[in-house]
């Protein structure tokens, strides 16, 4: 039996270079100082916020900046995306069940049966629970985004 060996050291070296390459490139970029590139959230309304950078408060595509950062930033940003996606799903499902529940309640009122009307009205618990779950996920998502921005800002040259 002949045993052949693959050059595992080469593939291992390529993997390490890929992992460290983004960090080394970001660390070598001296034009991105804390004053110029620090991110922060600017609340637009009760339901939305924009990510802005630097003293000029220019809007930035947060996906590209945070996805190319260190592991802590990337993990928090992925948690933000996960919770934001869940919040959107809960909100959509809550709205759908609210419409169905109101349709059932209206149909029960038309029949004049108080028992059916009470049951249909009692079903409001389902969409309200889904909206509460959506709100919780929105809050978690914002928390993760704030942490990702904090970790990103800490990695900038000249950070406090």
Please give the Cα distance from 141 to 18 (Å, whole number): 28
**Alpha-carbon separation of residue 139 from 17, 87, 123 (angstroms):** 36, 9, 26
pLDDT more than 90, % of the chain? 29
Asked if residue 79 has pLDDT above 90, the reply is yes
Look at residue 5 and give its three-state secondary structure. coil
pLDDT at 47: 67
pLDDT at res. 131: 93
Mean pLDDT of the chain: 78
- Greater confidence, 62 or 25? 62
For residue 160, the SS3 value is coil
Query: What per-residue confidence (pLDDT) applies to 22?
Result: 44
Q: Per-residue pLDDT averaged across 72-95, rounded?
A: 92
């Amino acid at each position: 039996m002949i045993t052949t060996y693959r050059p595992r050291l080469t593939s291992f070296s390529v993997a390490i270079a890929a992992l460290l390459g983004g960090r080394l490139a970001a660390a070598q970029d001296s034009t991105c100082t804390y004053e110029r590139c620090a991110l922060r959230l600017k609340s637009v309304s009760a339901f939305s916020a924009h990510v802005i950078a630097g003293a000029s408060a220019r809007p930035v595509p947060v996906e590209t900046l945070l996805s190319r950062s260190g592991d802590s930033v990337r993990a928090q940003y992925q948690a933000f995306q996960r919770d934001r996606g869940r919040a959107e799903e809960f909100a959509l499902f809550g709205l759908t069940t609210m419409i169905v529940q109101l349709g059932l309640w209206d149909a029960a009122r038309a029949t004049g049966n108080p028992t059916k009307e009470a049951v249909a009205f009692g079903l409001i618990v389902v969409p309200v629970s889904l909206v509460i779950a959506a709100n919780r996920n929105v809050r978690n998502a914002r928390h993760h985004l704030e942490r990702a921005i904090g970790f990103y800002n800490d990695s900038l040259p000249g950070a406090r």
